[in-house]
Amino acid sequence: MAAIVSEHLLEWYDAHARNLPWRARPGEPAPDPYRVWLSEVMLQQTTVAAVKPYFEAFTTRWPTVEDLAASPEEDVMAAWAGLGYYSRARNLVKAARAVAGQGGFPDTEEALRELPGLGAYTAAAVAAIAFGRRAVVVDANVERVVSRLFAIREPLPGSRKAIRACAEEITPDSRAGDFAQAMMDLGATICTSRDPKCLLCPLQAACRGRAEGDPAQLPVKAPKKAKPLRQGKAWWIERDEAVWLVRREGKGMLGGMRALPDDGWSAGGDGSGEPPLDGEWQGAGVVRHTFTHFALEMSVECQSTREEPQGQGEWWPVDQLDEAGLPTLFAKAARLVLA
């Protein structure tokens, strides 16, 4: 089965590979490891459509890993704003500096795992795609394809060990990078979460899920737990057509990002945090945002002032707020006020 799967899948990939800015076409030399690594970090829990403009912006501004390594972290964080999961951006800078310090990317899965922020998946993807190493690359698309191909019915996440073992079984020794990307493309375009296009699938004859008649039911997922709801508050302080922004603590949620001052909701605050300025506040409304482990309802209160707020911060021109690199939550708050 393994030889048939890899042969048919690679034939399909040669004809149907997606054109993506971080990829080399089948038969072309392997892409720059920097571009592979950067794209894989950006694509973690983020769609291809959302990543494309960020990838283009990053590689235009920082064409090489050395350029990225030399950039101040706050500039990278600002450029990352809107992609979410901001620890990725902090680790991006750390890993870039480590790579620049050692004169280039290591070319083995094991050595890549030593870089900040590179887990099993990213290290395997870079090793296979950039360096042609045989590595087992398993993302959400591959989980779905393998679950259906082998009719794995144990619910996720418990089935991941079995999925990886089956992915190991079908990964070829040659063209490992093309095979990994072919599996990703198959999951993204043919073996989709809903309404899989089995009649177009190059693996339909080998697919046990299809033979059993219900491939769309796989992979089985455990019921999601309801996310707790937190309440919070942020303050919009305006003076001379500028708004007061603070820099969040370097560690923790949205660490290192510019933001509006708030009441400490990210640390489980109960809305009792004190505003950085006395005076009369006017409610602008509530913004809602969902994080990985909880949902947030954050009320936004406004005040125009001639005073200087308490604590460290900076006045940022309102008409240049797009350049501040606000994370999505606070960008929503700004849009609410400005509307």
Residues 6 or more apart in contact with residue 210 via CB below 8 angstroms: 148, 198, 201, 204
User: Which amino acid belongs to residue 297?
Assistant: E
| Domains with residue ranges and CATH for the chain | 2-217 (1.10.340.30), 229-338 (3.90.79.10)
Structure-block tokens of residue 215: 């491939």
pLDDT given at position 35? 98
Instruction: Indicate the pLDDT class of residue 96, thresholds 50, 70 and 90.
Output: very high
Residues 302-323, mean pLDDT to the nearest whole number: 94
Please give the Cα distance from 3 to 189 (Å, whole number).
Answer: 22
| 248 in Cβ contact with 240 (< 8 Å) | no
Distances (CA, A) of 212 to 141, 198, 206, 236, 260: 20, 13, 11, 58, 54
Inter-residue contact 125 to 109 (CB < 8 Å): no
Measured CA to CA, the distance from residue 1 to residue 169 in angstroms comes to 9
Q: What are the tens digits of pLDDT across the range 172-214?
A: 999 999 999 999 999 999 999 999 999 999 999 999 999 999 9
Residue 268 confidence class, pLDDT cut points 50, 70, 90: low
pLDDT band at 69 (very low <50, low <70, confident <90, very high): very high
Question: What's the gap between Cα 200 and its chain centre?
Answer: 29
Average the pLDDT over 152-174 and give the result: 96
Q: Chain-centre distance of CA 218, in angstroms?
A: 24
- pLDDT mean across residues, the chain: 94
Is residue 237 a contact partner of residue 243, using CB atoms and an 8 Å limit? Answer: yes
For residue 272, the model assigns a pLDDT of 58
In the structure, what pLDDT confidence band is assigned to residue 149 with cuts at 50, 70 and 90?
A: very high
Residue 43 and residue 51 in contact, taking contact as beta carbons nearer than 8 Å = yes
3-state secondary structure the chain: CHHHHHHHHHHHHHHHCCCCCCCCCCCCCCCCHHHHHHHHHHHCCCCHHHHHHHHHHHHHHCCCHHHHHCCCHHHHHHHHCCCCCCHHHHHHHHHHHHHHHCCCCCCCHHHHCCCCCCCHHHHHHHHHHHHCCCCCCCCHHHHHHHHHHCCCCCCECCCHHHHHHHHHHHCCCCCHHHHHHHHHHHHHHCCCCCCCCHHHCCCHHHCHHHHCCCHHHCCCECCCCCCCEEEEEEEEEEECCEEEEEECCCCCCCCCCEECCECCHHHCCCCCCCCCCCCCCEEEEEEEEECCCCEEEEEEEEEECCCCCCCCCEEEEHHHHHHHCCCHHHHHHHHHHHC
Catalytic residue selected from 7, 11, 28, 40: 40
Structure tokens given for 323:
């350049």
Mean pLDDT of 21-40: 96
Q: Is 169 annotated in the active site?
A: no
| pLDDT (tens digit per residue) in 32-64 | 999 999 999 999 989 999 999 999 999 999 999
